[in-house]
């Protein structure tokens, strides 16, 4: 082999090597002459833009890859000393226009190439797809926001519990002294009405304090076998005797041989009562509330359903009713903690409250619960269903 031939073969090999180097880069590499005609368009550039090298090289002008005016701006920056030195462009975030016409965010680092006399002959850019990174950043941001809001809720709960606890004692004082004064007043004293009002309002404060404390309670409930029918009946016993329930028909369709549920009886009673009170409020004191229990053998689930003939819940509120402090009731009437407390309790039981509603027709709340694994179905006649 002559020297001449050896040199030629070495040049060819070196060229081949550089071509491979460029084409195997994950990042897009694009080079264009000073007129904007593309002469290098690697695999990475094809993946990023959706154009093939064949379509681009010597055919499509480099400015077509950018939104209007951007290519010119890049050249200006390349020639200025301010963006990494004359002939250089430090990594910058830009958009390119893909073959489909989408704008794709990418990072560009670019340089001008000079000939031996210092004349500009070409520009070359390295294009990094920013979509995966931006998507990850968005996800991180979302997770962060969720964390912040659940932390907020937790510390709000602690704050509320602290305040509620402190208010409880003076409130007790107000109630006791007002009651004592009321006892001392003669039956025809016209201050009696005012005092009764004080007692009534202080009683309401106590109720609010109680629900705040319940809402904030974060301790794990003790799980035991619970007779669901009995728990429902006990909860109703409290409510049925109140004046507000006198014109409400309550139908109990309780499955007599329901297995025990795995749960905490006093917490579950509270859930049933909250839902029952809501139903009565939605029916404005008259209507029908149907409470049904059943056992779904296929799913091995106890199912408890509360169906009312109340005003219903508009679709846009369905996702909000379980939020703490969400209420549609008048100021002073509802705190908006009933359902969020109930939701938290049922979540603590490893389940979820479901709701279906039709405005003007009524609402059904469904609570699925797991049976207590070790126990058999309750013998007929033993449970609250007999009541």
Which listed option, ligand ATP, Mg ion, none, makes contact with residue 363 (CB within 5 to 8 Å by class)? ligand ATP
CA-closest candidate to residue 39, choices 24, 17, 22: 22
Q: Where are the beta strands (DSSP E) in the chain?
A: 28-33, 38-41, 88-97, 103-114, 120-129, 224-226, 248-253, 261-263, 287-296, 301-308, 354-358, 362-369
Give min distance, CB of 158 to ligand ATP, in A: 19
Q: With binding defined as CB under 6 A, does residue 351 bind ligand ATP?
A: no
The answer to whether residue 336 forms part of the interface with ligand ATP (CB under 6 A) is yes
Tell me which of 326, 356, 366, 377 binds ligand ATP, using CB under 6 A: 326
Rounded least distance, CB 341 to ligand ATP, Å: 8
Q: What is the DSSP string of 29-59?
A: EEEEETTSBEEEE-HHHHHHHS--HHHHTTT
Q: Are 216 and 158 within 8 A, CB to CB?
A: yes
How far apart are the C-alpha atoms of 261 and 254, rounded to whole Å?
A: 14
Instruction: Show contacts with ligand ATP in window 200-239 (CB under 6 A).
Output: 211
Among 61, 79, 191, 329, which residue interacts with ligand ATP (rule: CB under 6 A)? Answer: 329
Cα separation, 242 vs 230, whole angstroms = 20
The alpha carbon of residue 335 and the mean position of all alpha carbons in its chain are separated, in whole angstroms, by 22
- Joined together, the tokens standing for residue 137 give 């950043």
63 CB-near residues (< 8 Å, 6+ apart): 36, 71, 72
Which one of ligand ATP, Mg ion, none interacts with residue 328, CB within 5 to 8 A by kind?
Answer: ligand ATP
Please enumerate in sequence order all residues whose Cβ is within 8 A of that of 91, keeping only pairs 6 or more positions apart, or say none.
107, 108, 109, 128
CB of 295 to ligand ATP, least distance (A): 24
Closest CB 354 distance from Mg ion, rounded Å: 17
Q: What is the DSSP string of 228-276?
A: HHHHHHHHHHHHHTSGGGTTEEEEEE--TTPPPEEE-HHHHHHHHHHHH
Percentage helix, strand, coil for the chain under 3-state DSSP, each rounded to 5: 45, 25, 30
Name residues contacting ligand ATP, limited to 156-175 (CB under 6 A). none
* Out of 94, 339, 345, 385, the residue judged to bind ligand ATP by CB under 6 A: 339
Instruction: State the residue number with the nearest CB to Mg ion.
Output: 338
> Residue 295's binding partner, choosing from Mg ion, ligand ATP, none, with beta-carbon cut-off 5 to 8 A by kind?
none
Q: Which of 328, 366, 370, 377 binds ligand ATP (CB under 6 A)?
A: 328
User: Of residues 100-159, which lie at the interface with ligand ATP (CB under 6 A)?
Assistant: none
In whole angstroms, give the CA distance from residue 62 to residue 30.
Answer: 9
Tallying the residues shown for the chain, one arrives at 387
Considering the complex, what minimum distance in angstroms separates the CB of residue 298 from ligand ATP?
28
Confirm if 287 and 308 have CB atoms less than 8 A apart. Answer: yes
Kindly tell me which residue out of 175, 327, 356, 370 binds ligand ATP, with binding defined by CB under 6 A. 327
Tell me how far, at minimum, the Cβ of 338 lies from ligand ATP, in Å: 2
The partner in contact with residue 337, picked from ligand ATP, Mg ion, none with C-beta cut-offs of 5 to 8 angstroms by kind, is ligand ATP
Can you tell me which of 44, 235, 263, 338 binds Mg ion, judged by CB under 5 A?
338
Residue nearest to ligand ATP (CB): 338
Least Å distance, CB 339 to Mg ion, is 6
271-310 binders of ligand ATP (CB under 6 A) = 274, 278-279, 282, 308, 310
Segment interacting with ligand ATP, rule: CB under 6 A, options 51-59, 260-268, 331-339, 379-387: 331-339
Task: Note whether 257 binds ligand ATP by CB under 6 A.
Answer: no
């Amino acid at each position: 082999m002559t020297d001449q031939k050896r040199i030629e073969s070495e040049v060819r090999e070196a060229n081949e090597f550089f071509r491979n180097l460029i084409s195997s880069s994950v990042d897009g590499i694009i080079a264009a002459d000073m007129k904007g005609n593309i002469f290098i368009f690697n695999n990475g550039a094809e993946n990023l833009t959706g154009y093939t090298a064949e379509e681009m090289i010597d055919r499509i002008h480099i400015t077509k890859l950018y939104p209007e005016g951007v290519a010119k701006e890049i050249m200006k920056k390349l020639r200025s000393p301010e963006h990494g030195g004359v002939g250089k462009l430090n990594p910058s975030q830009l958009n390119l226009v893909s073959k489909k016409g989408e704008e794709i965010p990418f990072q560009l680092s670019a340089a001008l190439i000079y000939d031996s006399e210092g004349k500009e002959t070409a520009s070359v850019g390295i294009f990094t797809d920013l979509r995966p990174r931006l998507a990850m950043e968005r996800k991180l941001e979302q997770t962060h926001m969720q964390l912040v809001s659940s932390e907020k809720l937790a510390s709000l709960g602690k704050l509320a519990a602290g305040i509620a606890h402190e208010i409880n004692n003076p409130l007790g004082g107000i109630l006791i002294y007002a009651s004592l004064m009321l006892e001392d007043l003669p039956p025809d004293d016209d201050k009696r009405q005012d005092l009764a009002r004080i007692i009534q309002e202080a009683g309401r404060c106590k109720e609010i304090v109680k629900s705040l404390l319940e809402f904030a309670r974060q301790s794990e409930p003790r799980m035991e076998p619970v007779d669901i029918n009995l728990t429902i009946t006990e909860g109703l016993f409290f409510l049925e005797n109140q004046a507000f329930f006198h014109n409400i028909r309550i139908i109990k369709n309780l499955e007599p041989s329901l297995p025990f549920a795995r749960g905490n009886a006093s917490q579950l009673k509270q859930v049933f009562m909250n839902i029952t009170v809501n139903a009565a409020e939605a029916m404005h004191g008259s209507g029908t509330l149907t409470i049904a229990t059943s056992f779904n053998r296929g799913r091995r689930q106890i199912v408890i359903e509360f169906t009312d003939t109340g005003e219903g819940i508009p679709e846009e509120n369905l996702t909000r009713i379980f939020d703490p402090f969400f209420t549609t009731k008048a100021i002073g009437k509802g705190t908006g903690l009933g359902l969020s407390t109930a939701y938290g309790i049922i979540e603590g039981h490893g389940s979820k409250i479901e709701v279906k509603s039709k405005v003007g027709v009524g609402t059904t709340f469904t609570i699925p619960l797991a049976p207590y694994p070790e126990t058999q179905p309750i013998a007929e006649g033993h449970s609250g269903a007999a009541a």
